[in-house]
């Protein structure tokens, strides 16, 4: 029953992201083992959207760690547990709560022992910088704890580069690059433990830097970003961008400015907005009250996945009440079509 629930939620999330993101491009799925213990480690730029993208694109049933403060409400806590989310506690949650991480680590060990998959964002925080932050060693501790109990268990790490063209805007596009597997066992000696886990962390960090746009030069970060924007680079292709940053000779990155063309679909976009006026007003109110802008797309996804279909359903019921079920079905299908056209053809400015 729980498996059916998980896959049902997975399909629902896929639909929500389909109407939230313009394009989802996946590269390197052949690098993902079909079986065995796997830890996906990704960069973190777009709050919950990052956490959802890995499970819906990797083909494996995935458990993932989430900030403990999301589990405060009992109903929400039950829902999150049902979709394989596991709370992880930080110092800011209180010193006493850190002890609860022991249970989290034990659960992670059990998941790996059962040859399942974990998802961890080891930068330790989300951010909008086009670079990979230094990694925390929590994932390495989980691996060590697992190997101390099950020393013969192979544990593969799959680095995941998540790249957005415009992370906060609608409708942004994303590319997800799955890197080559890293056998964690080769980097951890349970008989002589390096508690800094330097070699393993450096290996994973190095792989992540190749899978996402990584601007190493912090001092000139803004200048470099401006140059990349001037060249109209495709941020969905971090490998080319990193090559350009390395030698400044990859002229294939430079796109010729396109002449502005009249968007013939604008009337359809206007109709879609008029047809969705109440959900859009709710979104406008929520958007104004979001303090951390990185959560913009998370809340946008939540609204698109809940308020919009509920509103269309209520309107369809009204159409059925005043006309008949055939007209109501046509109207509801039209709402879906308008949503698809709007999401996939709206230009970000």
Tens digits of residue pLDDT in 181-190 = 999 999 998 8
Q: In terms of pTM, does the model score above 0.85?
A: yes
According to CATH, where is 3.40.1130.10 located in the chain?
A: 2-214
**CATH class, 2-214 region:** alpha beta
Q: For the chain, how big is the Rg over CA atoms in Å? A: 22
Q: Are strands 37-42 and 117-120 parallel, antiparallel or unpaired?
A: parallel
pLDDT at 313: 96
C-beta separation of 121 from 78 below 8 A: no
> Which residues of the chain are under the pLDDT cut of 50?
251
Q: Please tell me the distance from the alpha carbon of residue 254 to that of residue 241, in angstroms, as a whole number.
A: 10
- Centre a 10 Å sphere on the Cβ of residue 181 and count the other Cβ atoms it contains: 18
Predicted local distance difference test score (pLDDT) of residue 348: 80
Q: What is the pLDDT of residues 316-336, one digit of tens each?
A: 999 999 899 999 999 999 999
Model confidence pLDDT, tens digit, residues 258-312:
556 667 788 999 999 999 999 999 999 999 889 888 889 999 999 999 999 999 9
Q: What is the pLDDT of residue 251?
A: 46
Q: Which two tokens stand for residue 138?
A: 């929590």
Per DSSP bridges, beta strands 173-178 and 155-164 are antiparallel
- DSSP code at position 71: G
Structure token pair of residue 334 = 């039209």
Per-residue model confidence (pLDDT) at position 253 = 54
Instruction: Specify the length of the chain in residues.
Output: 349
Closest CA to 297 of 105, 82, 48, 38: 48
State how far the Cα of 126 lies from the Cα of 131, in Å rounded to an integer: 11
For residue 291, the 8-state DSSP code is S
Calculate the average pLDDT of the chain.
88
Instruction: Work out the burial of residue 90: count CB atoms within 10 Å of its CB; fewer than 13 is exposed, 13-18 middle, 19 or more buried.
Output: middle
| Joined tokens for residue 21 | 């993101």
Spatial distance between the Cα atoms of 160 and 177, rounded to a whole number of angstroms? 6
């Amino acid at each position: 029953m729980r498996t059916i629930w998980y896959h049902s939620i997975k399909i629902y999330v896929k639909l929500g992201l389909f109407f939230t993101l313009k394009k989802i491009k996946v590269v390197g799925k052949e690098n993902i083992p079909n079986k065995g213990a796997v830890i996906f480690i990704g960069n973190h730029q777009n709050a919950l959207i990052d956490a959802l993208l890995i499970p819906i694109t990797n083909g494996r049933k995935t458990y993932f760690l989430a900030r403990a403060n999301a589990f405060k409400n009992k109903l929400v806590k039950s829902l999150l547990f049902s979709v394989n989310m596991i709370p992880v506690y930080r110092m800011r949650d209180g010193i006493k709560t850190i002890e609860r991480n022991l249970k989290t680590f034990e659960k992670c060990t059990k998941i790996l022992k059962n040859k399942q998959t974990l998802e961890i964002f080891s930068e330790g925080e989300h951010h909008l910088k086009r670079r990979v932050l230094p990694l925390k060693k929590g994932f390495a501790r989980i691996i060590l704890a697992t190997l101390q109990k099950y020393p013969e268990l192979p544990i593969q790490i799959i680095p995941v580069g998540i790249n957005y063209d415009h992370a906060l805007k609608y409708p942004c596009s994303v590319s997800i690059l799955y890197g080559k597997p890293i056998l964690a066992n080769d980097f951890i000696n349970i008989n002589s433990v390096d508690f800094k886990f330097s070699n393993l962390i450096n290996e994973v960090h190095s792989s992540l830097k190749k899978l996402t746009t990584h601007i190493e030069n912090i001092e000139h970060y803004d200048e470099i970003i401006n140059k990349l924007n001037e060249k109209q680079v495709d941020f969905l292709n971090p490998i080319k961008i990193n090559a350009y940053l390395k030698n400044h000779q990859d002229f294939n990155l430079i796109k010729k400015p396109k002449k502005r063309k009249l968007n013939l679909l604008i009337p359809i976009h206007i109709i879609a907005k008029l047809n969705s006026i109440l959900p859009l007003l709710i979104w406008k109110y929520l958007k104004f009250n979001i303090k951390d802008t990185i959560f913009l797309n998370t809340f946008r996804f939540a609204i698109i996945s809940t308020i919009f279909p509920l509103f269309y359903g209520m309107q369809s019921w009204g159409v059925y009440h005043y006309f008949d079920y055939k007209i109501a079905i046509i109207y509801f299908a039209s709402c879906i079509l308008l949503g698809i056209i709007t999401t996939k053809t709206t230009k970000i400015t």
